[in-house]
Amino acid sequence: MIRTENLSKIFRTEIVETTALNKINFGVSKGEFVAIMGPSGCGKSTLLNILGLLDSPTSGRYFFDGIEVTGFSESQRTKLRKGNIGFVFQSFNLIDELTVYENIELPLIAMNIPGSKRRDRVEQILESMRIGHRRKHFPKQLSGGQQQRVAVARALITKPKLILADEPTGNLDSTNGEQVMQLLEQLNADGTTIVMVTHSLSHADRAHRIVNLFDGYIVTERIEKAFYPVG
């Protein structure tokens, strides 16, 4: 599904040059659940941003669903990301001025889906996430767990090929964190490819494979569960 070849990312300022990723060769098959672990500053989020087409590498190649996207412009990356990649963040990243309904609806508006179709899909996902009763509330009126469910709903609304989760349980208590993990597991069981950055080994254990990064390098890869590629 996604594949990198000698992917590197270097951040340059006037004084300092930092290599966040160093010739990473990384791949995820369709339907796989991969967890990325490592200490702070090892390049996990940088890798996730590149995989999510939010950023571009300094060198190396990146293939998304068979297409090389390395040299894509911002508008090309936005176009590809739309509808294909869903994001779940540690800090939820909901827009405070929009209601639950309007936050979930956002990716559909970006895809220019007409209003009536948007309504049907949002209602469906509100029910499946059990947050329909909160549709008119604003994020500040929700608990952390509820906010993350809204974020997951927003990530799923376009039925993306890939979900990228950057420490999705980082700001949640164990109960809510467990609920979010169960959600992700269920999504994966339904066929969604997931790449998750996490500090929690217990959560990482839910993945098919754990990849450890250190100082921009992949140091270990461990198979946790048997994975049978789809198709």
Partner 1 sequence: MINQSILLFFRNLTNNKLFSFINITNLIVGFATFILLSSYINRELSYDSHHEHYERIYRLQLFMDQEENILKHTWSVTAALGRQVLPGIPEIEKTVIMHDVGDNNKNGIFLSMDKKNQVLVRYGYYADPSLFEVFSYRFIEGNPEDALRNPFSIVLSHTVADKLFPSEKTLGKQVYGENKLAFTVTGVYEDLPQNSDMRPAYLLPMNTFTPVTGWVDYAENFWAYSFYTFVLLRENADPDAVDKKIHDALKDYRKEHHPYLRPLSKLHQNAYFQPDYMIALGMFYLIAILILILSAINYINLQTANATSRLREIGIKKTVGFSKKSLWKQFMVESVLTTLIAGLIGLLVAHSSLPVFNRLLGQQAMTSVLGNWRLLLVILMVTLITGFVSGLYPAYVISAFNPVKALKQKFIEDDSNGISLKKVLVTAQFSISIFLLVVGFII
Q: At what angle do helices 115-128 and 144-156 cross, to 10 degrees?
A: 130
Tokens in use for 192? 């969604």
Among 231, 180, 185, 228, which Cα is nearest to 205's?
185
Q: Does 10 bind partner 1 (CB under 8 A)?
A: no
- Residue 153: CB minimum distance to partner 1, A: 12
The single residue among 94, 156, 180, 195 that binds partner 1, judged by CB under 8 A, is: 94
User: What sign does the dihedral 88-89-90-91 (CA atoms) show?
Assistant: negative
The stretch near partner 1 (CB under 8 A) out of 48-56, 57-65, 142-150, 172-180 is 48-56
The single residue among 59, 79, 159, 191 that binds partner 1, judged by CB under 8 A, is: 79
The single residue among 70, 93, 171, 179 that binds partner 1, judged by CB under 8 A, is: 93
Residues 172-231 that bind partner 1 (CB under 8 A): none
SS (H, E, C) 179-205: HHHHHHHHHHHCCCEEEEECCCHHHHC
The single residue among 3, 23, 61, 82 that binds partner 1, judged by CB under 8 A, is: 82
Q: How far apart are CA 169 and CA 144, in angstroms?
A: 10
Q: Does 58 bind partner 1 (CB under 8 A)?
A: no
Tokens in use for 165? 């989760």
Q: What is the dihedral of CA 53, 145, 199, 181, to 10 degrees?
A: -80
Q: Does 121 bind partner 1 (CB under 8 A)?
A: no
The single residue among 65, 102, 178, 205 that binds partner 1, judged by CB under 8 A, is: 102
- Residue 123: CB minimum distance to partner 1, A: 18
Among 127, 2, 122, 7, which Cα is nearest to 58's?
7
What is the enclosing helix (H) or strand (E) of 127? helix 115-128
Q: Does 81 bind partner 1 (CB under 8 A)?
A: yes
Q: How far apart are CA 75 and CA 62, in angstroms?
A: 17
Q: Does 106 bind partner 1 (CB under 8 A)?
A: yes
Residues 125-164 that bind partner 1 (CB under 8 A): 154, 158
The stretch near partner 1 (CB under 8 A) out of 28-36, 103-111, 186-194, 215-223 is 103-111
Q: Site residues (CB under 8 A) for partner 1?
A: 49, 52, 54-55, 74-75, 78-79, 81-83, 87, 89, 93-98, 102, 106-107, 109-112, 154, 158
